[in-house]
Amino acid sequence: MTTLEHIIAHKKQEVDLKKTLYPVKLLETSVYFNTDAVSLKKYLLRSDKSGIIAEYKKQSPSAGVINQYADIEKISIGYMQAGACALSVLTDKKYFGGSNEDLTQARKFNYCPILRKDFVIDKYQILEAKSIGADAVLLIASVLSHDEIEKLIQFAHELKLEVLLEIHDEAEIEKIHHNADVIGINNRNLKNMTTDIQHSISLIKKIPDEFVIISESGIARPEDALKLREAGFHGFLIGTEFMMHARPHEACRDFIHTYNQLLQS
């Protein structure tokens, strides 16, 4: 089994357990069910924002432990002060060291779009995302059928959440649903965990211009972001490059500062 297949197999077991421990009626008592979501799509299109979705994650299958003792309050606030346009918070515990509580903590201290980054395979997880304060959820095309994507997008929209639909290769373009709010091209091959930003640049040419599109993974330098912007991307999801530093928010600030200088030059 590939790493991704292991993750999905575990996620199915995890979701089944959570359904018994935290029934839907309990999730629906959350205060976040009565609050409006902040639009990730609109923030990515704002001319006064960097387009950078700054990610909080402590570890990953490809990098191992990245920043085990990272403080979600300090880093999330710092990311926004640095000029990030949105936050991405990993909530998978087994493989990424995250938790639902991390996202809820970020929500308490920030008014900005927050993406729940996890492996969504069931409507229950979208209800869960709403209950912990997320504004958007990630759907990964490689682990979902076209019909599953359509149903999950519709359900997310019923809860007034937006959807970032992630693809990796040309074959998955046919799974892009017209109601997806944002399309993400993942430069990381989830089967062997290698990254290449040229992958995004090649694939964006095959995606209709009507979509808001971001590039994900392997963006290590401001020059990479500039190259992607020039190729037509509206934004970039960056995690490891920031989190590997002792002060991720400061790495984010320096990255955005240099990126803005490059844009103006």
- Which positions are annotated as active-site residues? 55, 57, 117, 166, 186, 216-217
CA nearest to 212, candidates 235, 237, 230, 238: 235
Beta-bridge partners for 65 = 59
d(CA 233, CA 230): 7
Q: Which residues contact 221 (CB under 8 A, 6 or more apart)?
A: none
CA nearest to 55, candidates 162, 159, 164, 160: 164
- Pair 204, 230: CB distance under 8 Å: no
d(CA 92, CA 140): 14
Please give the angle made by the CA atoms of 200, 202 and 204, to the nearest 5 degrees. 65
Token representation of residue 71: 């403080």
Query: Which residue type sits at 182?
Result: V
d(CA 153, CA 151): 6
